[in-house]
Amino acid sequence: EKLFQGKTALVTGAASGIGKAVALLYSQYGAQVMVSDLSDGQAVVEEITAAGGTAQFYQADVADPRQCQQLVQETINRFGRLDFACNNAGIGGELNATADYSLEGWQKIMDVNLNSVFYCMKYELEAMRVQGSGSIVNMGSILSQVGTAHSPGYVAAKHAVVGLTQTAALEYASKGIRINTVGPAYIDTPLLKNLPSEARQMLIGMHPIGRLGRSEEVAELVIWLSSDKASFVTGAYYPVDGGYLAQ
């Protein structure tokens, strides 16, 4: 019997990168997976189905609270329960110093990288509270802990995800629901696709392990935190960063 047999997992931003790896790994462990994204995630569903798993795609813009509510409702409608949620959808946003950062860019990154986590958690917790069990993993970053020049919105949003996670964890700790943040360093995903090669080399050099991370390496941590193996872990920030924050 697989670890997550009979369980249901919801992953946002699951059409690409880290979210896709998380969706695939939940499925490998036997969970039914709701693959959600703003873009088409049907290919991920097909990959899961071809491997003998169960998955559905539901398109949702996590910056819209109504769509987050519908996403959770649809997950329950289709699969009957919600055991795990990985609130992963996110964007890189503008690259500008604070004085030059646009007001629109600020609003956008707060909507997609921070407000979305509140919206999704609100409705996920509503469902999990009824069940009396559940585990949520929010996608933070090393930039949940330190700054980086020219990404004030991203850094602020990712820092705030940690506080939101800690607060919700306290509220539901005694009710069988655990909530944690994972903090990847730079992971080789489409999010980094527009980087010139010098910038990429520079990023690699910032990781003591000497390379960028892989989406699968982040997914392994999400799976562990979701599982009962992490039954005493809640409100935590777990880095998966090749030694980045140890420097």
Q: Please state the closest distance from residue 169 (CB atom) to ligand NAD, in A.
A: 19
- The residue among 13, 242, 21, 8 whose CA lies nearest residue 142 is 242
Rounded-to-integer distance, Cα 123 and Cα 60, Å: 14
Which residue of the set 26, 123, 154, 172 is catalytic?
154
Contact with ligand NAD (CB under 6 A): which of 19, 134, 152, 235?
19
What count of other Cβ atoms lies within 10 Å of the Cβ of residue 173? 13
Q: Please state the closest distance from residue 184 (CB atom) to ligand NAD, in A.
A: 4
Using CB under 6 A as the binding rule, whether residue 75 contacts ligand NAD is answered as: no
Contact with ligand NAD (CB under 6 A): which of 26, 172, 186, 244?
186
> Is the CB of 104 or the CB of 228 nearer to ligand NAD?
104
Stretch near ligand NAD under the rule CB under 6 A, chosen from 13-21, 22-30, 124-132, 163-171: 13-21
Stretch near ligand NAD under the rule CB under 6 A, chosen from 17-25, 77-85, 121-129, 168-176: 17-25
Contact with ligand NAD (CB under 6 A): which of 2, 6, 39, 66?
39
> Is the CB of 17 or the CB of 235 nearer to ligand NAD?
17
Q: Is residue 154 annotated as part of the catalytic site, yes or no?
A: yes
- The residue among 31, 30, 26 whose CA lies nearest residue 2 is 30
Residue 187 DSSP symbol: B
Using CB under 6 A as the binding rule, whether residue 17 contacts ligand NAD is answered as: yes
Interface pattern 106-145 for ligand NAD (x via CB under 6 A):
------x--------------------------x-x----
CB burial of 127-163 (b: ≥16 within 10 Å; e: otherwise) equals bbeeeebbbbbbbbbbbbbeeeeebbbbbbbbbbbbe
What count of other Cβ atoms lies within 10 Å of the Cβ of residue 1? 6
CA distances (Å), origin 179, targets 9, 59, 164, 169: 14, 24, 10, 5
Task: Give phi and psi for 8, each to the nearest 5.
Answer: -120, 135
Q: Which residues bind ligand NAD (CB under 6 A)?
A: 12-13, 15-19, 37-39, 61-63, 88-91, 112, 139, 141, 184, 186-187, 189-192
Catalytic residues, by residue number, are 154
